[in-house]
Structure 1
């Protein structure tokens, strides 16, 4: 009798476990999904996702509504630029605006398409893997987005963009907003921020605003990356499109911002000063190396002084040249830092008390350097925080008497 009861209980337990297993969705690599709501996930979620894959999900909700996507969980190989394993989210199914690229374990806020279609793509390389991602989608009305939805396509001759909750309270944590401004082909866009208050960080690594020429997130077309409480200078587009993306992480928040745009005739650009940024200008490494050949043909001669170059430089340091390796016409240098007078967006490496920095000298013979000697180095940074020094920047042998001048410059406002 007792053994029969145990068998019945075992059978019931097996049946329940099997039913639970059957109810768990099985996630495959991509697919077409439609309806008012649903769930998508990486292949094999919550198990480890496979390497060397590219999976695409095309989401469609009923006509007249837009897609709201909420990433519930994400665990992908982490990289500051999401170059290896990542999830891309696009508005529309083909040639749509990219709403964001995500990796690591950072979970963004709700992402909203500008139509009833959205595309989600996950790419993995051959190396590190995690548990992948899980996301829910739902259909929502375009103008009923609540305090966590923002962004969209703006194509009227003038308009405004603002962070969620503005101006009643701080913007929420974990939000991603993308505004795609589209003017007629023969016009450009002028963008001005009336108020601006986004969590401050020297590198704008946390909450920030990115502005791009065109309709896609493309580093080659990046106008600037902004944070802090100083409004960016007015921006003029190169063509008829601008993309503005706001991202807040899961920690500190601030008041947010409100900006206004209007369309302008193309000839307006030639009579207007180029925009400046709240963070020092950042050049891409590719751009820097492209024009280095022309620079290196000129006679090597240092111009200006410490004082005249200080404010225009993204970074100012003193340091000792540790290594210098020629690569083509340039030199890749490692500097052991003695002192930092202006950090800007410079990526400084630290091991214990020792700090160092990587520098690309565009022309390997200008400025001329020698290993083991100390220098004052001023220059710009690329998109990864590496130092770029060209003949037009300022670099000279460092002597003790220079410390007083540098200390005074550090205390002045540029």
Structure 2
């Protein structure tokens, strides 16, 4: 993924002052310059190592520069050719150049962004059944807010409407059905998935909607026998954590079980008393001084800890000065622990856990 890419990355620059950074994992990546010269730089830090990259370069003519190559909507240059593409809500016609109304079922994995109804800012198509499935980083929730909203009016939203669900499909708890011209309230998921449907009938059409979604740290998590992950911030893999964060994760196990937590990666601002950026672990579901186990900062892995009851709270605080890479924590259900936290000589692992979006 591109975005910040603050640690290990490839930087490509051209003569016009434009640049692109790339990091993460790609099976195939094509960069096409707008000038006849580019500079490629490789940068790595002193923590995680990966396999690196192998690249080929050739010269190529940009067919899209000439009358959009005959494409009705979007044209993308490819090696030795070009490809016509369509806006949201449309698919490519059989001729490969024009666009027609099509499906609108989207999987969205970005931590934040903008979405619109099909054909926005013009009227949405009739007879559509669309859905958006949002998935963000484990340990984070999704928030959605609407800037513009215009649907067919009905007192029970029987006709054209959207519905938002607290989970990964329409079987999850409904957060609301909305229609008309009133802006829906800001809504937030309880975990890292959100699902939205849009239904239009064959009669009235309207302008539709424009909305923004973002990731929010913290939430209520369920500890099971399989490992769950908490990332300090949604863009952990390609950027440092933000300033002035306050995140609370409440982890709950079933009755007569405890919650075990260990850190796979840990890098917060270092300070002798951990007064600036830090995490705290609480043996229980509330922030009470008598339940506080410890406070940690710096880049040394904290010891693992198992709660004495069925709940554990993890708190992250950052100030407005220095940022670092953050942390990855693993949690799972376990036999309840003792009052004193366990010690550990665990060393920094060589690789990061993989975010599983399935």
Establish whether TM, by shorter chain, passes 0.5. Answer: no
The structure having more radius of gyration, on CA atoms, is 1
Structure number with greater CO (CA < 8 Å, separation at least 6) is: 2
